[in-house]
Structure 1
């Protein structure tokens, strides 16, 4: 069995929190790796000489933190985490589009994971009020809506929904399932909307039940939200992308001048 310490009865923390702390430390140190099974309830009860409820409270605390998951009939396992993606500020640089790579593929090359995209849907509809405001469109303006899910090494890490003014997307592969090399931004530049800048609004929250299912995460795992707006050289907003990212899978990195 995993080597664990003993409960300190003089500690102000209740026993279940001490047990959770020891298991957490083992996970963070890599002693218990992703996908490994934790000691069973019976083993933990025998080791710590505590009641079953105390052990269950400790496991529940780790579940709430998103560190472990239960599998019915099999036990409790360390949650397999997707590889950390460092989102650098140059991920939308033209050099990547010129090489035929959208931002997600460019990041995959840097970090070394196998990228994937699935659940692609392309529709037309009215822009939600907040999106229309970012795109500087009048109410009821029509947009092309592209939604998809991204995976890293086969694990979901992000959902993204792009909104592009319908007149800009008309007649381009943006309205098709496959946008071609370089993605949406390459196609926009081909029709004259040369990109000049981006803005991003970053937030953090707990996921909705639907997002948990889509991203295959537990109730204790937070998500990052990034709302990005792309502008061309005429300062026209050409796309808004609303993304929801599995927080432990990302490290956001921004570089900006000190002036």
Structure 2
């Protein structure tokens, strides 16, 4: 057992490495309780501070999450591979399939916390959608879960004038097969071009709670604008992704 610092590194790091290996090899599986401070103290003959630091290392890495009053648990998750060109292709939503089909495959995808309201848009949204000062937007907010784990928050803004008459379906909680892009297509405002901007940052308190993020886990903020063939902006979507649970994939010609 490690009892002092040597060529293997600090004791807490040796213990953390052993626990990490147990998670990687599947000896400890997702949702399983990790040995606590008392057990690590007995197993390795170390002080409580050392055992606590070993656990804190894994918590900060996002592979172990603390549950108050219950202990620490494995947070192992197969990342979602997000390929923007595939998920936004009209071949997907144009055939009535949700864009998440390109990401999740046969995994379980759920949408909850859906809220749809007509609101005055923030200044940057009005500017992106090229709206007059008096215009309003339809704001669609929701959360996505994959295999029961919350992975993404999304807030879409669409010009409210698109939701008049036949476009009222854009204000429904469930907009039907293919989602809002299929409905925009039916209204003659099909998205033909998308732009996305990404940045990595630390989450705010609400985001950390909504995504059940472990301490120290960053988020990926994605801002997408959907434009028609005539370069009319028909949606601005602001997304917040769990940075530990996504792989962002891109391919393009030289």
Q: Does TM, scored on the shorter chain, surpass 0.5?
A: yes
2: CA distance between counterparts of 1:26 and 1:12?
A: 18
In the alignment, which residue of structure 2 is the partner of 1:86? Answer: 81
Uncovered stretches (5+) of structure 2, i.e. residues with no partner: none
Q: Pick one of 111, 114, 134 that aligns with 1:117.
A: 111
In the alignment, which residue of structure 1 is the partner of 2:122? Answer: 128
In the alignment, which residue of structure 1 is the partner of 2:157? Answer: 163
* Residues 2, 11 of structure 2: 8 Å contact kept: no
2: CA distance between counterparts of 1:105 and 1:169?
A: 26
Q: CA RMSD in A?
A: 1.9
Q: Pick one of 95, 115, 125 that aligns with 2:91.
A: 95
Q: TM-score, normalised by structure 2?
A: 0.91
Uncovered stretches (5+) of structure 1, i.e. residues with no partner: none
Q: TM-score, normalised by structure 1?
A: 0.89
In the alignment, which residue of structure 2 is the partner of 1:183? Answer: 179
Residue 233 of structure 1, CA deviation: 0.6
Q: Pick one of 241, 246, 249 that aligns with 2:242.
A: 246
2: CA distance between counterparts of 1:210 and 1:146?
A: 17
* Residues 162, 241 of structure 1: 8 Å contact kept: yes
1: CA distance between counterparts of 2:248 and 2:223?
A: 14
> What is the SS of the residue equivalent to 2:239?
strand
Residue 12 of structure 1, CA deviation: 7.7
1: CA distance between counterparts of 2:240 and 2:134?
A: 25
2: CA distance between counterparts of 1:144 and 1:68?
A: 39
1: CA distance between counterparts of 2:119 and 2:70?
A: 45
Superposed counterparts of 1:213-224, under 5 Å: 213-224=209-220
Superposed counterparts of 1:1-259, under 5 Å: 6-7=2-3, 9-11=5-7, 13-81=9-77, 83-88=78-83, 89-108=85-104, 111-171=105-165, 172=167, 173-258=169-254
* Residues 201, 228 of structure 1: 8 Å contact kept: yes
* Residues 7, 19 of structure 1: 8 Å contact kept: no
Q: How many residues align?
A: 251
1: CA distance between counterparts of 2:221 and 2:236?
A: 13
* Residues 33, 73 of structure 2: 8 Å contact kept: yes
Residue 46 of structure 1, CA deviation: 1.9
* Residues 22, 28 of structure 2: 8 Å contact kept: yes
